[in-house]
């Protein structure tokens, strides 16, 4: 009986699994295999493709930018969303809902629709520089200098802040109100409550939020690409651009090795995330 039911469970999953194998799993395994062979002729070359990739200037630049991008954005986003969430949480129900909606809305806005705004905003003679000019501040050449990195950061924060706020709010709502009441009775102030109750209770959420923010971060490429094209300003050049450019040249050897390297890094992050999930339960 039990065995029969297990079999039925497998039947539920089978159509999905067959497609997953066909479209995702087997092709990726093929990519792993190809990463050890030369692109032309298909002879076994061991780790040579990996050596080529690690010696590749474009890969090093893109890798460095990508790491710097995450290193800047994730702490910034996590902190900003935490502050906003805590502040929103103290407001009245209606106001809270309204603000949450406003911060989440960017999730729904197609990148292609925003590109128009990005062009008008970040152009050398654009609206943002107009604002800076009115405030008697120095102009910034957003798209053609290192400041282009700032454009990436702004795009990312704008699109992802709401997502993280929702996650923090969920964490906040799980903290029992009675803890705060007890602390108030004992004479604890707002700040004391925050550091001694809110922060420790949110710690488990922190890790998942960091990992999810990281994985959502790869999509910033869409804005970067549509606003600046295949070869943007150097500081904006991400791993995603590199993959795209290698794809156009059909550099299968380099692409497959780089796909394996990036895949491994992400896999490590996912295993960490899973451990955290199980820790919750």
Partner 1 sequence: MKKITAFLLTLLALVFVFPVLFLAVGSLMGKNELTDLLLPVLKTGSTGYASWKLFPEYPTLRSYVEVLLDSPEFFVMFWNSVKITLGALAGELLVGMPAAWGFAKFDFPGKKGLFTLYIALMMMPFQVMLLGNYLVLDDLRLLDSLLGIILPAVFSTFPVFIMYRFFEGIPLALLEAARLDGAGELRLFFMIAIPLGSPGVISAMVLGFLEYWNLIEQPMVFLKTKELWPLSLYLPNIDMDHAGTAFAASMVALIPAVLVFFAGQDYLEQGIVSTAVKE
Element (H, E) at 269: helix 252-280
Contact string 198-237 vs partner 1 (x = CB under 8 A): -------x--xx--x--x--xx-xx--xx-----------
- Residue 117 lies near partner 1 (rule: CB under 8 A): yes
Distances (CA, A) of 99 to 85, 87, 88, 105: 10, 11, 7, 10
- Residue 10 lies near partner 1 (rule: CB under 8 A): yes
Rounded to a whole number of angstroms, the minimum distance from the CB of residue 40 to partner 1 is: 16
Using CB under 8 A, which residues numbered 46 to 75 contact partner 1? none
How far is it, in rounded angstroms, from Cα 16 to Cα 33? 24
* Furthest C-alpha separation in the chain: 78
The count of chain residues that interact with partner 1, using the rule CB under 8 A, is 98
How far is it, in rounded angstroms, from Cα 185 to Cα 175? 17
Q: Which of 99, 175, 179, 183 binds partner 1 (CB under 8 A)?
A: 99
How far is it, in rounded angstroms, from Cα 104 to Cα 134? 30
Secondary-structure percent of the chain, ordered helix, strand, coil, rounded to 5: 80, 0, 20
Q: Which window, 39-47, 67-75, 89-97, 177-185, contacts partner 1 (CB under 8 A)?
A: 89-97
Judge contact between 198 and 86, C-beta under 8 A: yes
Q: Which window, 46-54, 68-76, 176-184, 240-248, contacts partner 1 (CB under 8 A)?
A: 240-248
Judged by beta carbon, residue 149 or residue 163, the one nearer partner 1 is: 163
- Residue 144 lies near partner 1 (rule: CB under 8 A): no
Judged by beta carbon, residue 149 or residue 221, the one nearer partner 1 is: 221
Cβ-Cβ contacts under 8 Å for 244 (sequence gap 6 or more): 225, 230
- Residue 194 lies near partner 1 (rule: CB under 8 A): no
Q: Which of 81, 171, 202, 233 binds partner 1 (CB under 8 A)?
A: 171
How far is it, in rounded angstroms, from Cα 165 to Cα 148? 26
How far is it, in rounded angstroms, from Cα 103 to Cα 91? 15
Rounded to a whole number of angstroms, the minimum distance from the CB of residue 101 to partner 1 is: 6
Rounded to a whole number of angstroms, the minimum distance from the CB of residue 257 to partner 1 is: 10
- Residue 123 lies near partner 1 (rule: CB under 8 A): yes
Judged by beta carbon, residue 34 or residue 235, the one nearer partner 1 is: 34
């Amino acid at each position: 009986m039990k065995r029969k039911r297990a079999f039925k469970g497998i039947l539920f999953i089978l159509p999905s699994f067959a497609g997953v194998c066909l479209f995702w799993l087997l092709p990726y395994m093929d990519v792993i295999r190809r990463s050890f062979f030369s692109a032309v002729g298909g002879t076994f070359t061991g780790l040579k493709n990996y050596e080529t990739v690690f010696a590749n200037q474009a890969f090093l630049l893109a890798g460095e930018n990508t790491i710097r991008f995450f290193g800047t954005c994730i702490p910034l986003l996590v902190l900003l969303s935490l502050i906003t969430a805590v502040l929103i949480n103290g407001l009245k129900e209606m106001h809270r809902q309204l603000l949450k909606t406003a911060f989440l809305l960017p999730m729904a806005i197609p990148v292609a629709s925003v590109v128009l705004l990005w062009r008008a905003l970040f152009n050398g003679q654009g609206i943002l520089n107009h604002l800076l000019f009115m405030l008697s501040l120095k102009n910034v050449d957003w798209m053609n200098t290192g400041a282009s990195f700032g454009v990436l950061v702004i795009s990312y924060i704008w699109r992802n802040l709401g997502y993280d706020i929702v996650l923090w709010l969920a964490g906040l709502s799980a903290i029992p109100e009675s803890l705060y009441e007890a602390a108030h009775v004992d004479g604890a102030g707002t700040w004391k409550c925050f550091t001694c109750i809110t922060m420790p209770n949110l710690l488990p959420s922190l890790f998942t939020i960091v990992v999810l923010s990281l994985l959502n971060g790869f999509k910033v490429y869409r804005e970067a690409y549509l606003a600046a094209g295949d070869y943007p300003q150097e500081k904006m050049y991400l791993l995603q651009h590199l993959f795209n450019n290698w794809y156009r040249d059909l550099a299968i050897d380099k692409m497959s090795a780089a796909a394996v390297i990036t895949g491994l890094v992400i896999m490590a992050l996912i295993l960490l995330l899973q451990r955290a999930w199980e820790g919750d339960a």
